[in-house]
Amino acid sequence: MLKVLLASRNAGKLREFAELLPDLQFVPWPVDAPELPETGAFFQDNALQKAEGARAWWLEHGTEPVDGVLADDSGLCVDALWGGPGVLSARFAPDLPAYRDRNRRLLAMLPEGAARRARFVCVLAFTGMQGGPFTVSGSVEGSLAFEPRGEGGFGYDPIFLPEGHDRTFGELPSDLKHGLSHRARACAALRNQLAAMK
């Protein structure tokens, strides 16, 4: 079993990765470690930045050996907001600490009568401890609900209706969400890539 440093302190992401990739043993990014940079214009840029930054830091300060580093950059892209919040999803409305409030603000920003098309995008960057990073991605098409619904998941899940479903990611049971989500699709691609490298 590969032991992998997850370059994130997001408890929701850690839980999802543990469920989606049960064949990997995850070490969470330490609380006392620095924030990882996210200055790229694209999800792939940010995922690679975080993976490489975490690898470099862990090589100098890590407390246990790991086989590699996994970093994720993901976000919600809304057509009526010109693809926003996109790569800024995690930093959208920083004056509102609770996602339920951020979700309401995002919905309020939609122009009246605008199409509600949206997609979730996830890019994963994996690097071994000697370098050699690669990326995989996954996305899911859908639309925005008119109000937040459901207590499941995290982040923007309560306002995202995956295509072909009338329940938000926040309302869907996790096993059903894991069959549809952008992160699940990226994790499937990662599993395939890691298997091909053996």
Domain count, the chain: 1
Residue 181 identity = S
- The segments of the chain whose pLDDT lies below 70 read none
Partners of residue 79 on adjacent β-strands: none
Query: pTM to 2 decimals?
Result: 0.94
d(CA 123, CA 100): 24
Give residue 198's pLDDT: 73
Task: Return all residues near 84 (Cβ < 8 A) that are at least 6 apart.
Answer: 77, 78, 92
Catalytic residue among 67, 73, 101, 157: 73
Reduced to 3 states, what is the DSSP secondary structure of residue 60? helix
Q: How many CB atoms lie within 10 A of CB 81?
A: 18
Query: What integer pLDDT is reported at residue 69 of this predicted model?
Result: 98
Q: What's the CATH code of the domain at 169? A: 3.90.950.10
CA distances from 143 to 15, 22, 80, 188 (A): 25, 30, 11, 23
- Which pLDDT does position 121 carry in this prediction? 99
73 is catalytic: yes
Domain extent, residue 130, equals: 2-197
DSSP 162: E
Say what the pLDDT of residue 197 is: 83
